[in-house]
Amino acid sequence: MYQKNKDKYIIDLFSGCGGFAEGFEKSGYKSFLAADFDFWSCETFKNRFKNTHVINEDITTKKFKKILKSKMNGTPIEGVVAGLPCQSFSSVGRAQDKYSMRKDKRNYFYKDFFECLKIIKPKFYVFENVRGILSAKPNGTRIFDDILNLSKKLGYVTLDNTSQMVFDTSEYGVPQVRKRVFVIGVLKKYSYIIPKIYDELINKSKEKKIFTVKDAIADLPSLKPGEGEEKSKFENSSKNNYLKKIKNSKVLYNHVARKHNEKDRQRYKYLSKKNWALRDLKKVRPDLIHHDPEHFHNRYTVQKYNLPGKTVVSHLYKDGNLFIHPDYKQERTFTVREAARIQSFQDSFIFLGSRTEQYKQVGNAVPPLMAYKLAKVIKKYCG
């Protein structure tokens, strides 16, 4: 077991708005420092975690490493968590880039993560990414092999079986199907706890119930396009087992519906009321179709009340067509708060910046309840 310290500090790199930190703080760790290149993510983080050193800086620069050393000032750090940018490893990102992301510098941000580990010298680390990172070969060499080699060179041990690193957050209390890789590394002298951590996560930490979109958002005020406020009173007291974990505020934040044109409203209404795909809509209202249903059949997706939500992604900031509200009477896509509910953020968590920036923050975040499950098990074995 690790030596017990009074304060168990973590550092959050590529922190985004603070999903990782939210879960780790709930389990008893304290957020010492967070860093991200995005200004509004940092503002949201500072607003939520008042005592954390938040650095709005490019983590890949020498300047950041100097700031990191200065802020640490010898403070012992238990762990480092990181939600590395995943766009270059995602299948969507590769498909949309003419070079299949081979020339994207984000492929190599993991090197900066390990450079920071050299400075911080934590007892453990956790980083999250999409499954594509396991197979990515931007220049013919498998990136994940290099990640494991760098980890080993710095004296950290992780699991050999990469298939056991993939977790679906819907199995851990998050009302969303979100399959992500979580790499956990510990100092070599504690290597015996790695199989125990993963075994407990895989075999003992899963929830018996899968929560649904209805569990997450059905209690929220009904809105038409363009309606809602950034801050409003919220008197609805109904709580299911999921809401008991996240519904902790009598004030509702970030629940503002996008404005939609009349064609979009009609499109959303038909798709949600009839539970249709685009090809079904084309037969009845071809005037509402401006994408080929055969090639863009997932371009418009109604979230189903009786199932977990689809993976929340940062594309939400461009449009919400993948997150059409299941209540056809509302004729709209998800608000920031609804997306945050699907991501398991507590209602008291306030997203700052424009609505575009808020959607980005929610979509890029690690779900706090998933982070909590990880942190709880890590803390059990790491003392």
**Residue-level pLDDT at 97:** 42
Q: pTM value? A: 0.92
Query: What pLDDT was estimated at residue 261?
Result: 95
Q: In the chain, where are the structural domains located? A: 9-209+366-382, 213-364
Catalytic residue among 17, 42, 86, 116: 86
The CATH code that applies to domain 213-364 is 3.90.120.10
| Residue 382 falls in the annotated catalytic set | no
Task: Write down the pLDDT at residue 86.
Answer: 53
pLDDT along the chain (383 residues), means of 10: 66 98 97 97 98 96 96 96 70 46 65 95 96 84 91 95 96 97 96 96 96 97 97 89 95 97 95 87 84 65 96 92 96 98 98 97 97 97 85
Give the model's pLDDT for residue 297.
Answer: 54
- Can you give the pLDDT at residue 4? 45
Q: How much is the pLDDT for 1?
A: 35
pLDDT at residue 204, rounded to an integer:
96
CATH number listed for the domain at residues 9-209+366-382 = 3.40.50.150
pLDDT for 22 equals: 98
Three-state SS annotation for the chain:
CCCCCCCCEEEEECCCCCHHHHHHHHCCCEEEEEEECCHHHHHHHHHHCCCCEEEECCCCCHHHHHHHHHHHCCCCCCEEEEECCCCCCCHHHHHHCCCCCCCCHHHHHHHHHHHHHHHHCCCEEEEEEEHHHHCCCCCCCCHHHHHHHHHHHCCEECCCCHHHHEEEHHHHCCCECCEEEEEEEEEHHHCCHHHHHHHHHHHCCCCCCCCCHHHHHCCCCCCCCCCEEEEEECCCCCCCCCHHHHCCCCEEEEEECCCCCHHHHHHHHHHHHHCCCHHHHHHHCHHHCCCCCCCCCCCCCECCCCCCECCCCHHHHCCCCCCECCCHHHCCECCHHHHHHHCCCCCCCCCCCCHHHHHHHHHHCCCHHHHHHHHHHHHHHHC
